[in-house]
Amino acid sequence: MQERRSNADRRQETRAALLSAARALFTETGYAETGTPEIVARAGVTRGALYHHFADKRALFLALIEAEAQAIAASINAASLDATDPLTALRQGARAYFVAMQAPGRVRLMLIDGPSVLGPDEMRRIDAATGGATLREGLAALPGVTATGEDLAALADLVSAMFDRAALAAAAGEDPGPYGAMIDVVLTRLA
């Protein structure tokens, strides 16, 4: 006898199929070159199912970027849980970020198409709710960092930009070793 799936289970499976198909296509051809017909064909669902879950392609992309940001933040948090001090936590988190950004297509999604499609304000909102919040907390815990409020937010933005530039360089084939070493130097000097 076949087990009956609930409507909630079917909705969740359809949403997951759409996100998976969109991720594959957005990383293969980019946001601009991917159409909703290709997404629904890859997901094996109807256009109606797509529009039941997402208002449009941009809303689907936003949900995908939010999920990617949450996955990156979870990797960072897991890697820095056992740290005995704030500097070690930041170093372990930085390494985890670079590993997480090596997931196929992630640099394109998060650092190229994400800002282009969603804009800097939306990307900043997503970051503030995920890895950016953890980075601010980690920087604030360093004894050498006395910045608070807007100054702390600016420092976190600059450190985050440093991480992103290193991830872009590694994705372009540059040796990530020097980037990791220099990030470690900067974090140590902040401490």
The per-residue pLDDT for 3 is: 67
**If you search the block for the tokens 């392609």, which residue do you land on?**
57
The per-residue pLDDT for 8 is: 82
DSSP label of 175: -
Report residue 175 as tokens: 């040796």
pTM of structure: 0.92
Report residue 18 as tokens: 């759409």
What SS3 class is residue 178?
helix
Farthest CA pair distance, the chain:
65
pLDDT digits (tens, 9 = 90+) for 100-156: 999 999 999 999 999 999 999 999 999 999 999 999 999 999 999 999 999 999 999
Q: Residues 171, 175, 176, 178: what is their CA dihedral angle, to the nearest 10 degrees? A: -150
The per-residue pLDDT for 85 is: 95
- The residue ranges of the chain whose pLDDT is under 70 are 1-3
Is the CB of residue 59 less than 8 Å from the CB of residue 111? Answer: no
Q: What are phi and psi of 111, to 5 degrees?
A: -115, -15
From the list 17, 38, 25, 188, the residue with the least C-alpha distance to 105 is 25
